[in-house]
Structure 1
Amino acid sequence: MQDKGVSNQLEKQGYQVKRVKTEGSCYEVYALDKKGNRHEMVVNPVNGKPVSEEVNE
């Protein structure tokens, strides 16, 4: 999955994606949720699912 695909998938889940960058073999994604909380996620490039996530309220 390319970074644009990861962005699209997360946007469908309600996130506002601010930045996607390649970090090793995964994507590091910075996004806002519907409540305005900031999320920093490491996303698996194969299936687009978050491997880890940090939320800053």
Structure 2
Amino acid sequence: MRYLIATLTAAAILAPVAAFAGPVCTTEAKDKWMTEDAMKAKVTEMGYQKIKTFKVSGSCYEIYGYTKDNRKAEVYFNPVTGAVVKSEID
């Protein structure tokens, strides 16, 4: 019974942490990643604009900015290929 209570308690504590974790974008080492400048250029080519934040987030490049049709965007990119892994567009 104690084991069950401990397991349920751990799950309750860790569940909210998992909800805030970003996606896994790559398992490649950072020396295989595009440079930040190259990724910024690719993001611009993809039509994202008014980038307020560009950062490394876990295994991703992440931006906060706007789409080409001026919609607010939070986007996670694979730092090796530049592909969009996850996006939230308002």
Give the shorter-chain TM-score range: 0.7 to 0.9
More strand by share: 1
3-state SS of 1:36 partner: coil
Identify the match of residue 48 of structure 1 among 62, 69, 82.
82
Q: Give the gaps of 5 or more residues in structure 1.
A: none
TM score, norm. by length of structure 1? 0.82
Q: Give the gaps of 5 or more residues in structure 2.
A: 1-33
Q: Following the alignment from structure 1 to structure 2, what is the Cα–Cα distance between the partners of residues 17 and 29?
A: 10
**TM-fit CA distance, 1:34:** 2.1
Structure of higher RCO (CA pairs closer than 8 Å, 6+ residues apart): 1
Percent identity reads: 34
**TM-fit CA distance, 1:31:** 2.0
Identify the match of residue 16 of structure 1 among 45, 49, 57.
49
Q: Which amino acid aligns with 1:15?
A: Y
CA RMSD of aligned residues (A): 1.3
Give the equivalent residue in structure 2 for 1:3: 36
Number of corresponding residues: 56
Q: Following the alignment from structure 1 to structure 2, what is the Cα–Cα distance between the partners of residues 5 and 30?
A: 17
Which stretches of structure 1, 4 residues or more, deviate above 4 A after TM superposition? none
Give the equivalent residue in structure 2 for 1:26: 60
Larger radius of gyration: 2
More helix by share: 2
